[in-house]
Amino acid sequence: MWSYSRRGFTSVASATVAQHQQKARYKPVIGLEVHVQLNTKTKLFSRCPTTDSSPNRRVLPFDMATPGTLPSLNSQCIYRALKMARLLNCHVSEWSRFDRKHYFYGDMPAGYQITQNHHPIAKNGNFGFWVFDEHLDVPYWKEVKILQLQLEQDSGKTIHLPSTSSEGGEGPKSLIDYNRAGCALIEIVTSPCFETAIEAIRFVQTLRLLIIHHNISNGELHKGHLRVDANVSLERDTVPGTRTEIKNMNSIRTIHTAINFEIARQFEILNSNGTVQKETRAADQDGRTVSMREKDDVDTDYRFMVEPNLPKLRIKEEWLTMAEEEMENAGKADFENLRDVIGFDPRSSIHIAEDPDLLAFVKRCIRLRDSSVSAEEILYWMKQLKTTMQRSKCNYPPQSEFFARQFMTLLNLVRQRRLTHLRVLDLLRYYSTTSEGDSSEGEEEGVTEFVEKHQLWRIEDPREIERLVGDMMRRNEKLVEKARNGNSKSFNRLRNLINEATEKRIDIEELCEVMKQFLDQKLV
Amino acid sequence: MPPIDSKLIANLERLSLVRFDSEQAVANLRNAIRVAKRLELVDTEGLEPMYTVWEDQECPTFEDIEEEPLPIEEVFRNAPVRFDDFFVTPPGNVPLESNERFDLNVINEWDTIGKPVAPQAKSTRLVEGKEK
């Protein structure tokens, strides 16, 4: 039934929902819970270091729930939570409290997680971001409501081993590594105000860049620094639907595909008059959602109770002021700069900021640019450069300062019409494939010297153009005849011959124009 | 005092991972609940619950300074099973079978029966395994 490709889910989801829009109005309702792993040096309630290591080498007695140990709250975690609260425009209450959330699982050694349920550190915020997509003609700004922000403990990591089938084989078992147990997490709970999977991922992408910029987390999705759970339901003619939860999606792609898959799955069920089960689902590697747990007869009872070992947390004024100051000093994030100051469109700003090499290249170009050069021009030529480099099997983008300077010079020269478009492409290819070599800065020949030496400037004089074209035409009588008779292949061949002979110094459009005039015998 | 049904017993066993071994155990629990329910007679209208006697104490905070983690041999000192550097547990999230094992009437009417020890269930088919 489903085509198992990412595009398949998206198009099926939007197509089928759209096609039925007249009969019953279906609206996806999506809420997110984002878990952000803080980059503090030690864990939330113990001073165990949080650096990477081999299994079970980052554990202190409290992290293993050793009887007799007590939690000691890390002040840096509070500080980062306050920064996050400011980022999300949340109200920070004067008092906050920790609770215990009970459930049994191997990676939760105490049998409960210390979290903040009833009195979280911050509540009632909002966050704005641009939503863009190849299917959207115009990007739009979306504001979402943030319900609450809470500090909580992370659990350990579990590796599931299936049963061994060998003789005297063992049953399935789980291997637990407690390095991560007790690390600080901030959980961000949004209101269910997302309507498409695209909105959800743009939220995560924008939030992630800001979190990295303000030094709250290292934000590496593949390392699990950012984990997203989504609650998805389909509203039918304004009647709310049953919610399913998709847990632990670890990459932007997975989030997008899994949410779309879930919308499509629920749509199929509702459309054939079935009922959606309330359950927890996981996303597999292709982005399909699969049922995770057996259907519970009752909702899981976490038996929330106040953490008796932690008195109420009072948020001091000076912490708030310090957080505010530090964020002011950090200024705009790179993608915001690209977008608001330089003028890149929202999609490119995020796309460039997410790739460190690309960002470095663009920053070099911006530093070297003439203030009249626009972001669109830079983007256009970057695209040409990328195509050229991919064809020559080189790594895009080039990383040298020298290349960036030549790139910007070329950009200026082509705007001033001193070089033809094709000549610039040639030079891009030349510089991108050679300038990454070992030769030192000073010895490299810049664009202007190179062009001057080889006399590659664009021919601007119309009479000169006519002379050269006429010359070539006289030497290729047969081709001219065929072209005159309307043979477009010959025309192109002739055009290419002239182009080569004049070393691409005639603007190709002008060249074609003059050739046509000759062929129509307006010129001889 | 609301009656205890098999759904509640199953739920309690699942939440606590403790098995009730007989009707008596469940009846004891029911009795304990009835005693505790007397707290509901106290009027707590409009009062904030007290979680600690030291109501004005503020949570102390600590600097983000690293300490030496436990050496790996210490970490595994009490572990019965070890696989390389991992703890081993049976797989989780296995649903608990909730077969009906108890005679609910005996449990729920125990106060009226008035015996210190719960009598044997009259019907044999509800008792695990044994044939009367």
pLDDT digits (tens, 9 = 90+) for A85-128: 999 999 999 999 999 999 888 899 999 999 999 999 999 999 99
Contacts of B76 (CB under 8 A, 6+ apart): A56, B82, B87
Domain assignment present for A86: yes
**Nearest Cβ partner for A55 among B60, B69, B86:** B86
Tell which residue, A342, A403, A405, has the closest CA to residue A372.
A342
Cα maximum dimension of chain B: 67
pLDDT level of residue A3 (50, 70, 90 thresholds) = very low
A93 touches chain B (CB under 8 A): no
Whole-angstrom distance between the N-terminal and C-terminal Cα of chain A? 66
Average pLDDT (A43-47) is 96
Under a CB-based contact definition with an 8 Å cutoff, are residues A322 and A78 in contact? no
Residues A160-179 have pLDDT tens digits of: 888 877 666 678 889 999 99
pLDDT tops 80 at residue A184 = yes
Nearest CA in chain B to A41: B64
Domain assignment present for A35: yes
Q: What is the mean pLDDT of chain A?
A: 87
Last residue of a domain, one of A251, A281, A314: A314
Kindly provide the ipTM of the predicted complex, given to two decimals.
Answer: 0.79
Pair (A96, A224) in one structural domain: yes
Does the pTM surpass 0.90? The reply is no
Contacts of A107 (CB under 8 A, 6+ apart): A155, A156, A157, A158, A176, A178, A181
Residue B59 to residue A312, Cβ atoms within 8 A: yes
Pair (A477, A403) in one structural domain: no
Confidence (pLDDT) at A198: 95
Pair (A369, A221) in one structural domain: no
> Can you tell me the distance from the alpha carbon of A84 to that of A303, in angstroms, rounded to the nearest whole number?
28
Pair (A449, A362) in one structural domain: yes
Pair (A442, A477) in one structural domain: no
Residues B87-106 have pLDDT tens digits of: 998 887 776 666 677 777 77
Angstroms from B54 CA to nearest CA on chain A: 8
CA A267 → CA A88, A235, A272, A398, B76, distances in Å?
A: 32, 10, 9, 47, 50
Pair (A188, A69) in one structural domain: yes
Confidence (pLDDT) at A284: 86
Beta carbon pairs, A and B, within 8 Å: 124
Confidence (pLDDT) at A374: 87
Residues A383-417, buried b or exposed e (16+ Cβ, 10 A)? Answer: eebeebbeeeeeebbbebebbbbbbbbbbbbbeee
Name the β-bridge partners of A101. Answer: A113
**Nearest Cβ partner for B61 among A75, A160, A174:** A75
A52 touches chain B (CB under 8 A): no
A16 vs A115, higher pLDDT: A115
Confidence (pLDDT) at A1: 35
Pair (A24, A101) in one structural domain: yes
Domain assignment present for A337: no
Highest mean pLDDT among A269-283, A313-327, A380-394, B36-50: A313-327
Mutate to test the interface with B, among A40, A161, A312, A313 (most CBs of B within 10 A): A312
**Nearest Cβ partner for A56 among B58, B59, B72:** B72
**Nearest Cβ partner for A56 among B7, B65, B85:** B85
Interface of A with B in 158-177 (CB under 8 A): 158-160, 171-177
> Which residues of chain B does A100 touch, with a Cβ-Cβ cutoff of 8 Å?
none
Residues A213-268 have pLDDT tens digits of: 999 999 998 888 999 999 999 998 888 989 999 987 889 999 999 999 999 999 99
Q: What is the DSSP string of A390-448?
A: HHTT-PSSP--HHHHHHHHHHHHHHHTTSS-HHHHHHHHHHHHHHTTSS--GGGSPPHH
Pair (A177, A201) in one structural domain: yes
Average pLDDT (A5-11) is 49
Domain assignment present for A333: no
Average pLDDT (B100-114) is 69
Confidence (pLDDT) at A168: 63
Pair (A408, A506) in one structural domain: no
Domain assignment present for A136: yes
Last residue of a domain, one of A454, A484, A511: A454
Residue position matching structure tokens 């070393």:
A503
Nearest CA in chain A to B95: A294
pLDDT tops 50 at residue A22 = no
Pair (A398, A510) in one structural domain: no
Pair (A386, A512) in one structural domain: no
Q: What is the 3-state composition of chain B as percent helix, strand, coil, each rounded to the nearest 5?
A: 35, 5, 60
Task: Count Cβ atoms below 10 Å from residue A177 Cβ, excluding itself.
Answer: 21
Could you tell me the residue range of the domain that residue A393 belongs to?
A: 355-454
Confidence (pLDDT) at B61: 94
The 3-class secondary structure across A441-463, one letter per residue, is: HHHCCCHHHHHHHHCCCCCCCHH
Confidence (pLDDT) at A492: 87
pLDDT tops 50 at residue A5 = no
> Which residues of chain B does A303 touch, with a Cβ-Cβ cutoff of 8 Å?
15
Please give the share of chain A, as a percent, with pLDDT higher than 90.
Answer: 51
Domain segments of chain B: what residues? 1-41+99-119
Indicate the number of domains in chain A. 3
Mutate to test the interface with B, among A40, A46, A59 (most CBs of B within 10 A): A59
> Which residues of chain B does A293 touch, with a Cβ-Cβ cutoff of 8 Å?
93
Residues A395-421 have pLDDT tens digits of: 888 888 888 888 998 888 888 888 888
Confidence (pLDDT) at B118: 53
Domain assignment present for A442: yes
